[in-house]
Amino acid sequence: MSVTDAEQIDRANASGRTPVVFVHGLWMLASSWDHWLPHFEAAGYAPVALTWPGEPATVAEARERPEAIAGKTVKIVADHLAGLIGTLERRPAVIGHSVGGLLTQILAGRGLSAVSVAIDPAPFRGVLALPLSTMRSLRPVIANPADRKRAKLLTFPQFRYAYANAVSEEEARAIYDRYAVPAPCVVPAQAAMANLNPRTEARADCRTVRRGPLLIISGGKDNAVPWAMANGAYKRQKGNASVTEIVELHGRDHALTLDSRWGEVADTALAFVRRFV
């Protein structure tokens, strides 16, 4: 547990408020949620942005030491987050983006969240859609099997296509410079190949009664996780006895949690969380 994780968890436990746990995805750090935290705190929650195991503290450090996050698989990260959530005194809401959205659904399937929001979630086993734009987005990190044990930073053109294709080039560059870091190549490979591997770690228990309410948010112009993929997750999840909903935010790309209109996404997630906790 990092100092940041421990401090946030202690503060959440001391507050007596319902925690809201934020889970980032690939090419990001926990600090990518910094603008969301005061928004949820002002709404009466105790926000906690958790790190991945071995995650460097700053973007500069992450770029200098990509080996710190290399080799971290879906299960390693999910188990790490589950252990941190287990130290919270109240069952939290969990909000995750991209691979963080996949992890959010895994954690929900373990009964660890009171309510969950998965934003542009990476796919799990059973989500059959694998659009060409997704494969193009992932090609730089999954094309070479030798990269599985490495962590790689997308170039700006690669990031522009996969992450920030619906904003101006100036805004995309600002997002890239401020937030983008190397990510473990094994994780996107696990997600992309989940349906070809019966023992994949990229799987979520969609049926358990412990799952709780779930909202999936999809960016209408997302190249990395297009509507077909987000809707595929919804179709797998909607048979659960708990509430399952999906909403499409038109004209938004994969950077929808970071760009100048992030408040629209935050308010959509907040409204859903408020209905249940």
Average pLDDT over residues 184-211: 94
Length of the chain: 277
At 101, which CATH number? 3.40.50.1820
pLDDT at 198 over 80: yes
Q: How many CB atoms lie within 10 A of CB 197?
A: 13
Structure confidence at residue 1 as a pLDDT band (50, 70, 90): low
Residue range 153-170, pLDDT digits in tens: 999 999 999 999 999 999
User: Of the given ranges (122-126, 154-158, 191-195, 218-222), which has the lowest mean pLDDT?
Assistant: 191-195
pLDDT at 2 over 80: no
Helix 74-85 / helix 99-109 crossing angle, nearest 10 deg: 60
Could you please report the per-residue DSSP string of 134-193?
A: HHHHHHHHHS-GGGGG-EEPPPHHHHHHHT-SSS-HHHHHHHHHHH---EETHHHHHHHT
The pLDDT assigned to 3 comes to 66
Report the share of the chain in percent with pLDDT over 90: 94
Give residue 123's domain range: 3-274
Structure confidence at residue 145 as a pLDDT band (50, 70, 90): confident
Do 69 and 56 form a contact (C-beta atoms < 8 A)? yes
Residue range 66-118, pLDDT digits in tens: 999 999 999 999 999 999 999 999 999 999 999 999 999 999 999 999 999 99
Based on the structure, what is the number of domains in the chain?
A: 1
Nearest partner of 133 among 169, 163, 154, 99, judged by Cα: 163
